[in-house]
Amino acid sequence: MDVSLEQLRTLAAVIDEETFDAASAALGITPSAVSQRIKALESAVGRVLVTRSKPVRVTPPGAAVLRLARVTTRLADDTANEIGIGATAGFATLPIAVNADSLATWFLPALARMPARFRAVFDVHVDDQDRTFELFSSESVLAAVTSGARPVPGCTVTPLGSMRYFACAAPDFTEAHFPRGLTAQALATAPVVVFNRKDTLQHRFIADVAGHPLQPPAHYLPASADFVHGIQLGLGWGLVPELQYAALPQRDSLVHLAPERPVDVPLHWQVWSVDSAPLRALTGVVTAAAHRSLDPARR
């Protein structure tokens, strides 16, 4: 398979930018040139690599070639940065996927510890920990905090530990909806706060406590700080990360509904198996921060 770095970089840009026009702007070339490079790459591979839709999607054969593009362009950029030549010399962009609760607690301090000599900038994609694995698998990122312990082909996995959650509610909400504790009847009717429609954590907890699935009324608050604030204001109950609860200035604003039933969500660090100094450094700061913040007994 005879392909060029230029073609691989164009494929990555088309997938990242989601349209040929946006990729042309990012690369500084015409849309026609983008189309010609993709056609030439598909001709060299002998497979259709992307769907001509909006947004553009990678096909199954294209996913394998995109994996090659990620690794090859990363190595090329690292080399350019190291010797100080080319348009990519300067800063290295590292696309990362992370769940919102990690981003709101321990993950940003990890990024802040990235050694300045690597001149890294971060393109952070936020999604549920169960979905970051899918984002990683779709070749959109180079590394991810994910609940998936099974490595994507070409990647390594490091256990980080578990984020612990507790069912919490405001005191007045607790008195009104859970006077007899977390009964199945109360869980069926008490409003619950959910991060977004991909978030199944609350509903899994409900099914575990009640013994069967329930569908209570739900508020959707897709930001970690707003999620906790909504629970404090009495909109509903929800599973609050232990790290966020510990950082609250007024912890009496929340009541633990079932302190004996914590929910532990194992997290893993997935990263491409490529000899990249910035990725190695990123792995070091992320795993070190996780080991400081997450209970090693649950790693």
Q: Output the tens digit of pLDDT for each of the chain's 299 residues.
A: 789 999 999 998 999 889 999 999 989 999 999 999 999 999 999 999 999 888 898 898 888 898 888 878 877 877 776 666 654 445 678 889 999 999 999 999 999 999 998 888 898 988 776 666 666 655 568 899 998 888 877 789 999 999 999 999 999 999 999 999 999 999 999 999 999 998 999 999 999 999 999 999 999 999 999 999 999 999 999 999 999 999 999 889 999 999 999 999 999 999 988 778 889 999 999 999 999 999 754 44
Distance CA 71, CA 33 (A): 23
Inter-CA distances, 17 with 9, 140, 299, Å: 12, 10, 36
What DSSP line would sit under 222-240, residue for residue? Answer: -SHHHHHHHHHTTS-BEEE
Task: Please give the residue range of the domain that contains residue 59.
Answer: 1-87
Cis ω for the linkage preceding 216 (within 30 of 0)? no
100 belongs to a structural domain = no
Q: Are residues 77 and 169 in the same domain?
A: no
298 belongs to a structural domain = no
Strand pairing class (50-51; 57-58): antiparallel
Distance CA 55, CA 76 (A): 27
Q: Strand runs (DSSP E) across the chain, as ranges?
A: 50-51, 57-58, 92-98, 120-126, 143-146, 155-169, 192-194, 218-220, 238-241, 255-256, 263-272
Residue whose pair of structure tokens reads 């006077």 in the numeric block: 179
Domain boundary residue, one of 46, 61, 87: 87
What is the pLDDT at residue 149? 85
What is the pLDDT at residue 299? 45
237 belongs to a structural domain = yes
Domain boundary residue, one of 33, 54, 87: 87
99 belongs to a structural domain = no
223 belongs to a structural domain = yes
Residue whose pair of structure tokens reads 């199944």 in the numeric block: 200
Whether 256 and 192 have beta carbons less than 8 Å apart is answered as no
253 belongs to a structural domain = yes
Number of domains in the chain: 2
Distance CA 88, CA 83 (A): 11
56 belongs to a structural domain = yes
Q: Strand runs (DSSP E) across 230-295, as ranges?
A: 238-241, 255-256, 263-272
| Cα three-residue angle 28-31-33, rounded to 5 degrees | 80
Number of other residues whose CB lies within 10 A of the CB of residue 227: 27
Structure tokens at 151: 């490595």
Q: Are residues 170 and 255 in the same domain?
A: yes
What is the pLDDT at residue 86? 56
What is the pLDDT at residue 2? 84
Structure tokens at 279: 């990725």
What is the pLDDT at residue 250? 86
Strand pairing class (218-220; 192-194): parallel
Could you tell me the CATH number of the domain that includes residue 61? 1.10.10.10
Could you tell me the CATH number of the domain that includes residue 178? 3.40.190.10
240 belongs to a structural domain = yes
Q: What is the pTM of this model?
A: 0.77
Domain boundary residue, one of 69, 87, 105: 87
